Amino acid sequence: MNIGYVGVGAMGGAIARRLLLTYKLLVYDLDESAMQHLTARGAVGCADLAELGARCDVILLCLPTSDQVRSVIFGQGGLVGAVRPGTLIIDQTSGDPNATRAMAAELAGSQVDLVDAPVSGGARAAEAGTLAIMVGAGAEQYGRLLPVLNAISPNVMHAGGVGAGQIMKLVNNLLSTAQRLLTFEGVALAAKNGVDPRRAVEILLVGGGRNSYLENIMGPLVLNGQLDTGFTLGLAHKDIRLACQLGIESDVPMFFGSLTRELYQTYISELGCDAKVDRAARVVDRLAGTRVVPAGQAAFGSGE
């Protein structure tokens, strides 16, 4: 079985490195340097999408948006003109489930399967093999993809049919992005009223307000001035927007989701789409007149 990976940036590259521990891998990315990082580890770089599509039985994608997934599959020089019947395409993009379902229906006529398997946990979890992988696929497709995804992480969960994995990723990111901002505000509130931020986090971690963001990001990173972890404000806003749109389409009220979307738009207006999400903590500090994030410490990047 030949496996290919398209989109080997921060997140896709980390997943691809994990796959290389088990499988030979063909890779393609518009960024030549991203491919070089993987070919140095034994991957085979492809000149274009057509070459990768023609040589692979299973192809994984990790791209910023579903529009880019459509371009990679159906655009000029895309995969659809090269892949063979029976090819399985696994989309790990945090994308639009309805767009994915539409693309899957188009590909079915060519006997090509498209399923979704977005992930949660970030690049560090990808390197460690602890990602949560949420799969939208039919039962037969799921059985076929499971050995490949288990090479990435044992935490593979079948959410339902095509699109269900991306639905759960949107729900996951809606909760986590709102939780991040509420955590910023809560710790700033404690600090403004005389509680040391580190002590506030320690207390919250043993109370009912404990959450994954406090434990894994706020405490060890943000309080040390390390704000360049995670993905960008633009990508966070994209996921919240898609979640809110899904709520509109399915008649689910999105009171907190809509507020969170607007807050992220506000941070984008101030910091830009490409700023990392935790940079918003500096804005909260400025508005609150606090110094939860220490001044003058270098930040570092770790990818999405």
Give the count of beta carbons closer than 10 Å to the beta carbon of residue 64: 19
Question: Is 24 one of the catalytic residues?
Answer: no
Pairwise CA distance, residues 66 & 99, whole Å: 7
Alpha helices (H) along the chain? 10-19, 32-39, 49-55, 66-74, 97-108, 122-128, 139-150, 164-192, 197-204, 212-213, 233-249, 255-271, 280-288
The residues that bridge with 158 in the sheet, in sequence order, are 135
Residue indicated by tokens 């079915």? 108
The residues that bridge with 133 in the sheet, in sequence order, are 119, 156
Check: CB of residue 119 under 8 Å from CB of residue 145.
no
DSSP-derived 3-state class of residue 58: strand
Which of these is catalytic: 169, 192, 238, 276?
169
Residue indicated by tokens 């270098």? 298
Residue indicated by tokens 């789409």? 273
Residues serving a catalytic function are 169
